[in-house]
Amino acid sequence: MIRINENYLKLQSSYLFVEIANRVSAFQKQNPDFKIIRLGIGDVTRALPPACIQAFHQGVEEMASDTTFRGYGPEQGYAFLREKIAQNDYQSRGADINPDEIFVSDGSKCDTANMQELFATDIRLAIPDPVYPVYLDTNVMAGRTGSFDGGRYAKILYLDSLPQNGFVPDLPAESVDLIYLCFPNNPTGATISREILKTWVDFARENRALILYDAAYEAFIRDQRLPRSIYEIEGGREVAIEFRSFSKTAGFTGTRCAFTVVPKSCMAYDNSGQRHSLHALWNRRHSTKFNGVSYPVQKAAEAVYSEAGKGQVRELVDYYLGNAALIRQEMAALGFEFVGGENSPYIWVNCKRDAWEFFDLLLKKAGVVTTPGPGFGKCGQGFIRISAFNSYENVKSAMLKIKEVLGAL
Ligand code: MLT
């Protein structure tokens, strides 16, 4: 008899963004003429930067001739891309990361989801609340979380991110083994200072723990004082794996290219306390289960680091930050409190009522899709996330409609 992995039965309903898409499409079906503006899922709307498109085309052209055609590439990514990443994203900022510590992949969602495979199922996990649901759900699937009771999984240590702590969780009062952090944060848009990030690195060192650091929104940081990478922090190389993506940085959500940094100095332990290189384990996993990102896509990603590409990417990110500034301005004028939107594309709004109710109101009356906070965890109750990924015109009309609807209440 074929049997299932019963941990799947512990998952809560469907994946958040699928649930929202279903609700929106059911509403649209009933109201086909109602204009809907999507500020829900963080999906980019603007074209790839011209430098990336040009390199993408060249990559495709090379595939069209026997002399330049390429079959399987290195699973870890082509050296031309890994070298550019190491140089531009790390070494230029004083972070000691080498090209062979970089693993190119098709997305940070998959990498953050897959990384937990390297660890024992009885380790103690610390996961922020609210959180990008992938970290939690993949650990549920793997059987690390225990049962769901009273809105939370029994075996997880939740790191509450609330107005009281500026949406940056406090250090755990007890020892944990694996810690998920994401800055600039999804969903709150909060950022972390160097000093606070250093306390997390020190905590991990003291507890022989590992930090999985999701920096997918790093390109949105405009405040020079903020760290863009955990490897800018002393000791980070020993205790952290970092995830980065071209999705939000350069509009690659549909093109698919990201990378994960696993420093060679990062270790984990077996049952007898012996040290093992996480780089070696991840390399084994990656080369067994993944066949690399396509050559033209890696050429397109490489162009992000060309002189023209750098300028175009900055302009692209500035465009979305302009939307975020407009959302902040309008929500403030309406009397809401919020965090994010300055060094992040997300604005986390205290909606002063039930979040799903507010989500429904904005969808059905204003035609604006947001993301209800409870979808990211218990601490998300009373909040909604507004994404700045859309055209400026759409964001402007979404804000006008919200103003009308709330003004009429
Ligand atoms: C989000 O809206 O949180 C993101 O788009 C999800 C993702 O990047 O997978």
Band the pLDDT of 333: cuts 50, 70, 90. very high
User: How do residues 101-113 score in pLDDT, each as one tens digit?
Assistant: 999 999 999 999 9
Dist. CA 210–CA 326, nearest whole Å = 38
User: How do residues 270-315 score in pLDDT, each as one tens digit?
Assistant: 999 999 999 999 999 999 999 999 999 999 999 999 999 999 999 9
Band the pLDDT of 17: cuts 50, 70, 90. confident
Q: Is the pLDDT confidence value at 19 over 90?
A: no
Element (H, E) at 212: strand 210-214
Distance from Cα 177 to the centre of ligand 1, integer Å: 26
State the closest ligand 1 atom to the C-alpha of 387, by its place in the atom list counted from 1.
2
Q: Is the pLDDT confidence value at 320 over 90?
A: yes
Pocket lining: 299 vs ligand 1, CB cutoff 6 Å: no
Only one residue has tokens 């992938």, namely 134
* Residue 404 burial by Cβ neighbours in a 10 Å radius (0-12, 13-18, 19+): exposed
Percent of the chain with pLDDT over 90: 96
Q: For the residues 119-148, what does the mean pLDDT come to? A: 97
Band the pLDDT of 409: cuts 50, 70, 90. confident
Q: Is the pLDDT confidence value at 165 over 80?
A: yes
pTM of the shown model: 0.97
Distance from Cα 69 to the centre of ligand 1, integer Å: 34
Distance from Cα 357 to the centre of ligand 1, integer Å: 22
Q: For the residues 326-343, what does the mean pLDDT come to? A: 97
Q: Is the pLDDT confidence value at 367 over 90?
A: yes
pLDDT for the residue 13: 76
Pocket lining: 41 vs ligand 1, CB cutoff 6 Å: yes
Dist. CA 83–CA 196, nearest whole Å = 30
**Bridge-based pairing state of the strands 210-214 and 178-182:** parallel
Beta bridge partners of 340: 347
Joined together, the tokens standing for residue 77 give: 């990514």
Q: For the residues 351-362, what does the mean pLDDT come to? A: 95
Distance from Cα 41 to the centre of ligand 1, integer Å: 6
Q: Is the pLDDT confidence value at 387 over 80?
A: yes
Band the pLDDT of 152: cuts 50, 70, 90. very high
pLDDT for the residue 191: 98
Beta bridge partners of 243: 214, 260
Band the pLDDT of 316: cuts 50, 70, 90. very high
User: How do residues 233-275 score in pLDDT, each as one tens digit?
Assistant: 999 999 999 999 999 999 999 999 999 999 999 999 999 999 9
pLDDT for the residue 16: 84
State the closest ligand 1 atom to the C-alpha of 248, by its place in the atom list counted from 1.
8
pLDDT for the residue 101: 98
Q: Is the pLDDT confidence value at 373 over 80?
A: yes
* 24 C-beta neighbours (distance < 10 Å), count: 17
Q: For the residues 357-373, what does the mean pLDDT come to? A: 96
pLDDT for the residue 14: 76
Band the pLDDT of 407: cuts 50, 70, 90. confident
Distance of CA 340 to the CA centre of its chain: 14
Nearest CA to ligand 1 atom 1: 42
- At 137, the amino acid letter reads D
